[in-house]
Amino acid sequence: MEDYRAAAEDARFQQLSGSIERVIYANEENGYAVCDLGTDDNDLVTIQGTLPYIAEGDGVTVYGRWVHNPKYGRQFSVERYERVLPADVNAILRYLSSRAIKGIGPKTAQKIVEEFGEDTFDVMENHPDWLAHIPGISRKKAEEISQDFKQKSGIRSAMMFFRDFFGAALTMRIYKRFGSSAVDRAKQNPYILCDEVEGIGFEKADRMAHDLGLSTDSPARLSSGIVYVLHANALQNGHVCLPEDKLLAAAGTLLGGTPEQLRGALDILLYSGRLKTYSLDGATYVYEAYAYDNEQYIATKLRLLDRLCAAVDAPDVHAFIDREERQNGIAYASLQRKAMFDALQCGVMILTGGPGTGKTTVVRALLNIFNSMDLRVALTAPTGRAAKRLSESTLSEAKTIHRLLEMEYGDAGDERGAHFRRDETNLLEEDVIIIDEASMVGNGLMSSLLKAIKPGARVIIIGDADQLPSVEAGNVLRDLIDSECFSTVCLTEIFRQAQQSLIVTNAHAINRGEMPRLDVKNNDFFFLRRDHDRDIVLTVADLYKNRLPRTYGDMARTGIQVISPSRKGEGGTENLNVLLQEGLNPPREDKTQYRFRDKIFREGDRVMQIRNNYDIAWERLDGSTGMGVFNGDIGEIEAINHAGECMEIRFDDRHVVYDFTLLEELEHAYAITVHKSQGSEYPIVIIPLYRAPYMLLTRHLFYTAVTRAQSMVILVGREDVARTMVENHRQSMRYTGLAHRLREMR
C-alpha cells in the first residue's frame, strides 16, 4: 500500500540508494550506527542515524539531510530508511562474511554459500537443521544462527512496515517490546502500541489504525480512547480520576461514537479490571486500576501507621522539648512545641507553614530527640535539590525518595522495568520517616514510599499546602489536611530574623491576598517597572548577563534563576531561553553544538530534564553509580560528541551521558516555569511580570515563585500584572478521592 503521508515525508528529504560498504560504529541497544554507503552513483558517503542491525552488503535507500559535523565533516543524517537483503551469491557471501549474523565468520560463510547458494537465507530461516550438515556447525549452533537471522529479519520487517507511521527510533522501541510478533500485533490492534510503548500516544496509534482501515467505532478504539482521556488528564491536569459523566463526554468529543457504544466500551474496561470506579457524594468516579489501587493503599497504610505507632509518654515529651530549649538557648513558640509534641505522640503528623515560620527549627529539634531515643531516622524529599537543601539546613543526610527506596532498572528481560528494591517485601529499617516538600509528592510516589515503611514506624509529613500541587497526579498534602484524620500543625508566626526579609513578608502578604511591598530599594525584594513585554525581557537578559554579575560576582554567575508564569509569550520560557542562550552562551569555535528540531544545544548550556526517565545511568565523582534522571533536574552540558551521537551532562554531582535520541526529554533551563521550580531554591530569582494567560496568573503561582528565592527576588514588569496575580485566587481543582477514603475509615 502506497502511503500518502510517507510519500509526503520523503518529499521533504533527500534520497540516497546503494549498499553498505563499511559499518564504522553500531550500537545494538538503540540502533544508532555510522556507516560508509557506496551509492548507485559510485560515490562513497558517510551516513549516520538509527539503522538497527545494519551490516556490510545491505542494500538500502535512505531519506534524510546533509549535515556538517565539526569534527568529521559532511555526513548524511538518516531520518528513515528501507533495506533489502542481498540477492546474488556474491552479495550474500559478503553480507555473511561481515559477521552480520552471530556465529558466522568469513570461513563459515564461504561453506554455507557454497552449499546453498541463492537459497542460503531461506535455509537459515526455515531449515536450520540443514546447516548442521556443514562441518563445524553443530545442531545447537545451527539453531542459534537461525534465531539471530530471524531476529534481524524481524527488525527488518518491522522497519519496512512501520516506516509509514513512525521513525526508526520508535520502531526500534516497538520491536524491543514485541519482538518478531510486532507487525502482527500492530495489525490486529494498533492501539496496543499506545498502551505498551513509550512515545506512542493515542493520536499516533489512531492515525495508524485509520490508515490500516480499522473502523472508527471498533471496541478497541473506543476502549483505548477512554483510557487515553483518563491518562491525559492525569498527566496534564493532575486528576487521579474523573466523574463518569465528564469522562464519557470527553471521550465522545475525541472519538465520536454513540453514547451506547461508549458506555459499552467503558463497561468492558470495568469488567476486565483495567478501570475501576468509586462512589463519592452520589457521583461515580472512574480510575485507571493502578491509580485506584495507589489511592486506596495510601489511605489504608497511613491509617495503619497512625494506629500502630506507640505514643511517647506526655511527661517524657515535655522533658525532651525542655532539654532542647536549654541546650540550644531558645524558647520555642507554642505551635512549634505542639508540633514536636504531636510528632512524638502520633504515628502520622503533618507540619505546614510558610517561609520563616520555623519548620526547619522543629525538624532539627526532632532529629536531636529521636537520636537521643536511639531511633533511626530517614530524611527524604521528592527532588535532588530539595533533598540537598534539607540536608544543609539540618546538617544530616537527606535522600531523594527514589534513592531512599533504592530505585533500580531491570535487565531487558525484566518485565518490571524501573522499580524500587524497597517495598512490602524489603522494608526500610528506619523507625522515623520525615518527608519534606510534601506538596510535590503525588499519589504514585507516596504509595511507593508507604509500601516500604514498616508497621510501627513514625511518619512526619512537612510541606507548604499553599504552594502549587505536585506535577504527578494527586494532591496528597492537601487531601491529608482536608481529611482531618491526622494531627496537623500549621505554623503561622514569622520569627524576628525572617521579619527583616521582604521575601518572607511579601510572600505571606501575597498568600493573604495583599499586594507585596514594591517600593523598597534596599532590601532583598526589588521591583523594576517595565510596561512593554519587549522591555521586560531585555531587562531580564541584562540583569542576568551584566548587572547582577557585576554587583554580586560569583553568587550571580551561578545562582540566578529566571522563573516565568508561562512557556508562551514574549516573557515565557521558550522565548527567554533563546534570548538568554544568545547572551550567556553564544556560539564559539571552541564550543560544539547540536541542533535538535528547533533547539540548539551547546556546550556550556544550562538544561533541564522534563520527564522522569528511570533508564538513564549516572556516575558520581566518588565512583558510585545509579539509574534515573527526573523531571525538574537541572544540569550543564559539558561535552557534545557528534561521532558517538551523545552529550555529557553534569547534574550537580552526577555525570550522565545522553544519547541524542533522548534529547526530546531536555529543555534549556536559563528560564523555567514556576511548576518546574517546585522543591528548589535559588540564591537569586528573577520573575517577569507580563501579560500571560489569566489562568496562569494566580496567587498560588506567584507565592510559589517568590518562595523559591533564598537571597533576592527581582520582579520585572507591570504592577497591574502583580495585582492580577494577587487577586486571582483561582486554584487548580483536582479530582481525587483520598480525603473521602480517609474520612470513611475514621
Asked if residues 508 and 526 have their Cβ atoms less than 8 Å apart, the reply is no
Q: Supply the pLDDT for residue 410.
A: 56
| Helix or strand run (H / E) with residue 66 | strand 59-69
In the sheet that holds 377-381, the strands lie side by side as 398-400, 377-381, 432-435, 458-463, 348-353, 487-491
Other C-beta atoms lying within 10 Å of the C-beta of residue 149:
23
Residue 233 Cα to chain centre, angstroms: 16
CA dist list (Å): 541 to 323, 551, 586, 598, 599: 51, 15, 13, 21, 19
Nearest CA to 719 out of 461, 517, 430 is that of: 517
Predicted confidence at residue 537, as pLDDT, reads: 95
Task: Report the alpha-carbon distance of residue 235 to residue 393 in Å, rounded.
Answer: 32
In this structure, what DSSP letter does residue 34 have? E
Query: Measured in whole angstroms, how far is the alpha carbon of residue 591 from the centre of its chain?
Result: 28
Q: Could you tell me what percentage of the chain is helix, strand and coil, using 3-state DSSP and rounding each to the nearest 5?
A: 45, 25, 30
Amino acid at 482: D
354-387 confidence digits (pLDDT tens): 888 889 999 999 999 999 999 999 999 998 888 8
Q: How many CB atoms lie within 10 A of CB 583?
A: 15
Phi-psi map region of 396: left, alpha, beta (phi>0 left; psi -120 to 50 alpha): beta
How do residues 135-144 score in pLDDT, each as one tens digit? 888 888 888 8
Q: Rounded CA gap, 441 and 427, in Å?
A: 20
Closest C-alpha to 667, from 544, 581, 740? 581
Closest residue by Cα to residue 661 from 155, 162, 172, 73: 172
Looking at the DSSP bridge assignments, the partners of residue 68 are: 74
Q: 172-210 pLDDT, tens per residue?
A: 778 778 877 788 888 888 888 887 787 787 888 888 888
Residue 411 pLDDT > 70, yes or no?
A: no
Give the chain's radius of gyration (CA, Å): 30
The count of other CB atoms within 10 Å of the CB of residue 587 is 11
Strand ranges in 410-557 using DSSP code E only, listed in sequence order: 418-420, 432-435, 458-463, 487-491, 525-529
Which residues are within 8 A (CB) of 588 and not within 5 positions of it... i.e. 6 or more apart? none
Indicate if the pLDDT at residue 416 is higher than 50. Answer: no
Structure confidence at residue 497 (pLDDT): 67
Read off the pLDDT band of 12 (50, 70, 90): low
Please state which of the ranges 1-5, 562-566, 568-572, 627-631 shows the lowest mean pLDDT: 1-5
Cell of 35: 556507516
**What span, in angstroms and rounded, lies between the C-alpha atoms of 34 and 62?**
13
C-alpha 381/C-alpha 651 separation (Å) is 17
Q: Which residue has the cell 530508511?
A: 81
- Check residues 109 and 175 and name the one with the higher pLDDT: 109
- pLDDT reported for residue 181: 79
Burial class (CB in 10 A: 0-12, 13-18, 19+), 548: buried
Rounded Cα–Cα distance for residues 327 and 183 (Å): 71
Is the distance from CB of 673 to CB of 566 less than 8 angstroms? yes
Q: Span 714-736, mean pLDDT? A: 92
Of 35-39, 94-98, 469-473, 525-529, the one with minimum mean pLDDT is 94-98
- What is the DSSP code string of 573-623? HHHHHHHHHHHHS---TTS-EEEETTEEEETT-EEEE-S-EEEEEEEETTS
CB 71, CB 642: distance < 8 Å: yes
Q: Which helix (DSSP H) or strand (DSSP E) does residue 73 occupy?
A: strand 73-84
Quote the distance between the C-alpha of residue 228 and its chain's center: 18
- The maximal CA–CA distance of the chain, rounded, in angstroms, is 93
Query: Comparing C-alpha atoms, which of 213, 190, 169 is closest to residue 49?
Result: 169
Q: Is the Cβ–Cβ distance between 111 and 90 less than 8 Å? A: no
Are the C-beta atoms of residues 686 and 562 closer than 8 Å to each other? Answer: yes
HSE-up of residue 353 (Cα within 13 Å, Cβ side): 23
Helix ranges (H only) for 309-400 are 314-328, 334-345, 359-372, 384-394
Is pLDDT above 80 for 91? no
Mean pLDDT of 552-572: 88
pLDDT at 6 exceeding the cut of 70: no
Average pLDDT, the chain: 87
Give tens-digit pLDDT for 462-519.
Answer: 999 888 888 889 999 999 999 999 999 999 888 766 678 899 999 999 999 999 999 9
Q: Which three cell numbers stand for residue 37?
A: 554507503
- pLDDT at 351 (0 to 100): 97
Decide if pLDDT at 85 tops 70.
Answer: no
Grid coordinates representing 641 are 560528541
Amino acid sitting at position 542: D
DSSP character at residue 544: I
Q: What is the pLDDT of residues 332-350, one digit of tens each?
A: 999 999 999 999 999 999 9
Residue 9 has pLDDT above 50, yes or no: no
| pLDDT > 60? residue 10 | no
The two beta strands, 348-353 and 458-463, are parallel
Q: How far does Cα 68 stand from its chain's mean position?
A: 31
The Cα 515–Cα 501 span in angstroms is 16
The residue type found at 107 is K
Strands 377-381 and 432-435, how do they pair?
parallel
Q: CA distances (Å), 379 to each of 1, 30, 395, in order?
A: 59, 37, 11
Q: Which three cell numbers stand for residue 490?
A: 500549621
Q: Which residue has the cell 552540558?
A: 637
Kindly state the helix (H) or strand (E) to which residue 689 belongs, with its residue range. Answer: strand 682-689
Residue 243, H or E segment: strand 242-243
Grid cell, residue 304, equals 495503619
Phi, psi of 733 (to 5 degrees): -75, 135
Euclidean distance between CA atoms 399 and 386, whole angstroms: 9
d(C-alpha 500, C-alpha 493), whole Å: 14
Let me know: does 419 contact 615? Beta carbons within 8 Å.
Answer: no
pLDDT number for residue 498? 64
- What is the per-residue pLDDT across 689-709, written as a single tens digit (0 to 9) for each? 999 988 889 999 999 999 999
